[in-house]
Chain A
């Protein structure tokens, strides 16, 4: 698979390590009410769709950026690649 890095252009997926569903960007507040249940929900269950999947890849052998890759889990086709920092900011994270 080739991941089209937004800054570096096309890179072999072998340069990356895979973490999983991009929902992992949204770590719950550990001090909030019901944090225990929120963390269980954060850490273990997954949507695991057959089809488009937004997922986190880390460019370990490259610029060490985190990317959010939108990929079809049935065909392995990658349709969108964004910097995870941009996605996190857009989705309301402060940094």
Chain B
């Protein structure tokens, strides 16, 4: 069923009785050409683009719980492409371009809102670094704009511009950045993939990868063995656990990242703002809640919940930037498990096992990457060649000294 304004009117006049489920709930077949492990944003996007863009068929997505129940439902919904390094910026810009046409492409309202993202700076040195990053972005075709205090004051008059330690000196804006309704991304891709014949199999956990003569021939699951021509793993947060089934150790640690939402307020924040002197970022959801977050907790964790010291740290960052935040009550806090890679950048690559492909290591930047990650992973699965924007996201880049360390802190995942 195609969604449109006409359809809404028609259903309104006929008692809303004609809506059908957005995707089927099929039983697994014994064999598929492609199995995608992980029914999150990236896995569903991969299946969608495999079917739509690369015209492949006989595709299944296996999900241990329900689709969109992992990090695509636990993030802070921000999209942007404000990276510095050559290995990163073209990929994230490709992703932002896909976001811009996504809703028309998969015929689903994902509430893509290009309300802009603003990175504040608080010192001369930081301004220089932001100018450099803005120039790098523009060289790759992205938009970037340096704003001074007065320009920022127009949109954000309530910020603490003259904070004694961290006065706001200006900011780097990317006006094409913004927010997206995160769950709708998973649902939109799932619906689009399902319409093109992809089997989305929920409550089907992969318990083993079957490897014969160095080739992956299928997966053992809680619903029996399913054979596959190619297996793509897109389970960021749990990549190490799944790839351990193939005897691999990844350059990844799993860490917990917390996020927060306040009670609903009238519109106050027009876009996304980030604090430059601590780790704090904030936007306002369409329901009115202030959605914000900061650092990871900093120790290995699969717990999907964090501890109080980081909540305190995030709150302190928020108060330094945005003193009015102290009058707002916190509604919810939650945690998600991140694949923190050793250089802070993702991996989309073949593995030493034939027919087994990995998409992971997204650190805490996975949501904005969802469309391009799916597209590029589908490209790799369908053609066995990396998409031009992900040639740097190799699994062997650590051994070859070709790390993409945006932050420049080395092989210490809790600092990325």
Interface residues of B in 368-406 (CB under 8 A from A): 398-399
How far does the Cβ of A45 sit from chain B's closest Cβ, in whole Å? 4
B16 to chain A, nearest CB (A): 43
For the complex, what is the distance from the CA of A45 to the CA of B240, rounded to whole Å? 10
Q: Does B254 contact A (CB under 8 A)?
A: yes
B342 interfacial by beta-carbon distance below 8 Å: yes
- The number of residues on chain B lying at the interface, defined by a beta carbon within 8 Å of a beta carbon of chain A, is 24
B223 near A: Cβ within 8 Å? no
Find out whether the CB atom of A44 lies under 8 angstroms from the CB atom of B300: no
Q: How far is the CB of A1 from chain B (nearest CB, A)?
A: 6
B314 CB, min distance to chain A CBs, angstroms? 14
Which residue of B is nearest A20, CB measured? B253
Q: Would you call A32 an interface residue if the criterion is a C-beta within 8 Å of the partner chain's C-beta atoms?
A: no
Residues of chain A lying within 8 A (CB to CB) of residue B399 = 37, 40, 44
List chain A residues, Cβ under 8 A from B241: 48, 50
Q: Does A76 interact with chain B (Cβ within 8 Å)?
A: yes
Q: Are A18 and B240 in contact (CB under 8 A)?
A: no
A50: chain B residues at CB < 8 Å are 238, 241, 254, 302
Q: Is A80 an interface residue (CB 8 A)?
A: no
Bound CA–CA A73/B299 (angstroms): 9
| A46 and B249 contact, CB distance less than 8 A | yes
Asked if A74 and B303 make an inter-chain contact with CB atoms under 8 angstroms apart, the answer reads yes
- In the assembled complex, A47 has its CB within 8 A of some CB on chain B: yes
- Inter-subunit contact A1/B250 (CB<8 Å): no
Interface 1/0s, chain B 274-310, versus A by CB < 8 A? 0000000000000000000000001111110001010
Do B301 and A48 have beta carbons less than 8 Å apart?
A: no
Which residue of chain B has its CB nearest to the CB of A40?
Answer: B399
Contact B251 A45 (CB under 8 A): yes
Q: Indicate whether A48 sits within 8 Å of B414 (C-beta atoms), given known contacts A55-B299, A75-B303, A76-B301.
A: no
- Interface mask (B235-262 → A, CB under 8 Å = 1, otherwise 0): 0001011000000011111100000000
B413 at interface (Cβ–Cβ under 8 A)?
yes
Footprint of A on B, CB under 8 Å?
Answer: 238, 240-241, 249-254, 298-303, 307, 309, 342, 398-399, 411-414
4 shortest A-B CB distances, which residue pairs?
A48-B240, A45-B249, A44-B251, A44-B398
Between-chain CB contacts (< 8 Å), 22 pairs: A1-B307, A13-B309, A14-B309, A18-B298, A18-B299, A20-B412, A20-B414, A21-B253, A43-B411, A44-B342, A46-B240, A46-B249, A46-B253, A48-B249, A50-B241, A50-B254, A50-B302, A73-B254, A73-B301, A74-B302, A74-B303, A76-B301
